[in-house]
Structure 1
Amino acid sequence: MARQLEEQIAGRFPIGRRLRVLDVGMGRGTQALRLARAGHEVTGVEQDATLIAAAREALAAEPEGIRERMRIVRGDGRDTGVHFLPGSFDVVLCHGVLMHVAEPDPLLAGLARVMAPGGLLSLLVRNGDALALRPGLSGDWAGALAAFDTTVYRDGLGLDVRADRLSALTGTLAGIGAPLHAWFGVRVFTDTVPPDAAPPDDLAALLAAEERAGRTDPYRGVAALLHLCGVRGGAAAG
């Protein structure tokens, strides 16, 4: 996903330009720190105190120049209008957040509002069109059959959360003035791998295969996650 994001940023903005980045639901700050290290001004928004502490600890270990380029705001992403002015950011990230929001449209509209014209919106969502794949590959036939008719699933923490369908999000992005520009699959081959599994010896080959599948039909359509990129005021993808 980081490679996909870098590709989209490089294709939209001049090389060397310092971008204003908002990362909503930044978690431990992995993507935020990556972009701060690349020279951008990054604002991370997170509501979980434990994750904020982890992000602050990681930031404290960075050189002063990087620490100065990143700030952390406590919030849940639905109050962007309170914290930020319209057009404040060139790039807005919202990764792994929509599945925890019962009604995502207001959140997405708020994110579009704080994007500058031509700005990039990066979303990472659970793929609502492929929910039957994981239980099916695990031999849970009842679970696979049930998953065809729902967009609700149980996450790794045992919580019932929500998935999004590509067609619905495409319409939503068009409606908020940030039409879909590009989309990718994430975790095509590796979704059933246990989260605590050790990295394989051939990790580079695994990542290359995942990246290739994530941009190739029909594989990307059955990925566990979808990475969608919209452009504020842009034209929809063909």
Structure 2
Amino acid sequence: MATKSESATYTHGHHASVVRSHSWRTAQNSIAFLLPHLKPDMKILDIGCGPGTITVDVASYVPQGHITGLERAGSILTQARANADAKGVTNIDFVEGDANALSYADGTFDVVFCHQVLQHVGDPVGMLAEMKRVVKRGGIVAAREADYGVFVWYPELPGLKDWQDMYDRVARRNGGEPNAGRMLHAWARKAGFGDVRCSCTMWCYASEEDVKWWSESWVERAVASSFATTAVEHGLATKEDLEGISKAWREWGEDQDAWISIPSAEILCFKE
């Protein structure tokens, strides 16, 4: 088993605005590419489960099986457990741990997956290799990662381009790779997978409700989350810069034609 620990810093942190955003995620809107491959009796590991909304959903696909949500930031697991309890889900548990050094024996799980995690780690290839270690032969390692360099929005406000550029600088300062999506399949092959199947889907926010939700999230995150703290502490932005970005997200959200697409690459890796 590996002994290394995570070297990168999680860019978003766990400010309330971030957790609200992540709690919107479900199995259906985030890992639909994996769902057809699940069987009722599978044992599954969800890496970087956060508030557990995806994890809890996946539990319903394995009623005779079990799913474990693993999260490095143990504080968020209180909410994850509450989510499971509220829905009466019992074939689930949540544990604190570092996916660079999983405490499980080789071949423990039928499926190991992560969603929007590898972009935030210092050694994504090493983490994929560790995920491969704990999955059974014939099992699946799956991942889905956004690519911040190809987010597209309308109207094309200058302040949002400033946000995109600043996010890239902050994420790289933290040791991550914000354009992970385009590299995901290559990382998997470097981790030792021969059978890597690729796809790409996107979130698209265009309705008044969705635009308002995304806009309000970043209005707050731009000035109050770990993203903002890192930007200021490391001289990547001033508070005035961040306030300008927050204002741009508000302006975008108030435009009746506002629209944004967020593409993510997906991989299914089959262990031979």
Question: For this structure pair, what is the TM-score category when the shorter chain's length is used for normalisation?
Answer: 0.5 to 0.7
Give the fraction of aligned pairs with identical amino acids, expressed as a percent: 19
Instruction: From 81, 84, 95, give the equivalent of 1:73.
Output: 95
Q: Cα–Cα, structure 1 residues 90 and 174, in superposed 2: closer, same or farther, change >3 Å?
A: same
* Corresponding position of 1:114: 134
Greater mean deviation of Cα atoms: 90-99 or 187-196 = 187-196
Superposition TM-score, scaled by structure 2 size = 0.59
What stretches of structure 1 of length at least 5 have no aligned partner? Answer: 198-221
Structure 2 SS opposite 1:224 = strand
Provide Cα deviations, 1:206-226, integer angstroms capped at 9, x if missing partner.
xxxxxxxxxxxxxxxx95241
Instruction: From 8, 29, 54, give the equivalent of 1:31.
Output: 54
1:137 aligns with 2:156: yes
Q: Cα–Cα, structure 1 residues 95 and 186, in superposed 2: closer, same or farther, change >3 Å?
A: same
CA displacement at 1:71 relative to structure 2? 1.4
Superposition TM-score, scaled by structure 1 size = 0.67
Larger helix share, 1 or 2? 2
Once the two structures are superposed, the pairs formed by residues 17-96 of structure 1 within 5 Å of their partners are: 17-38=40-61, 39=63, 40-63=65-88, 66-67=89-90, 69-80=91-102, 83-96=103-116
How many residue pairs were aligned?
196
Contact 1:153–1:160 (CA<8 Å) still a contact in 2?
A: no
What stretches of structure 2 of length at least 5 have no aligned partner? Answer: 1-25, 219-259
Provide Cα deviations, 1:101-128, integer angstroms capped at 9, x if missing partner.
1221111111111122232222232315
Structure 2 SS opposite 1:152 = helix
Query: Distance between the aligned counterparts of 1:227 and 1:92, measured in 2?
Result: 17
Query: Distance between the aligned counterparts of 2:27 and 2:180, measured in 1?
Result: 22
* Corresponding position of 2:231: none
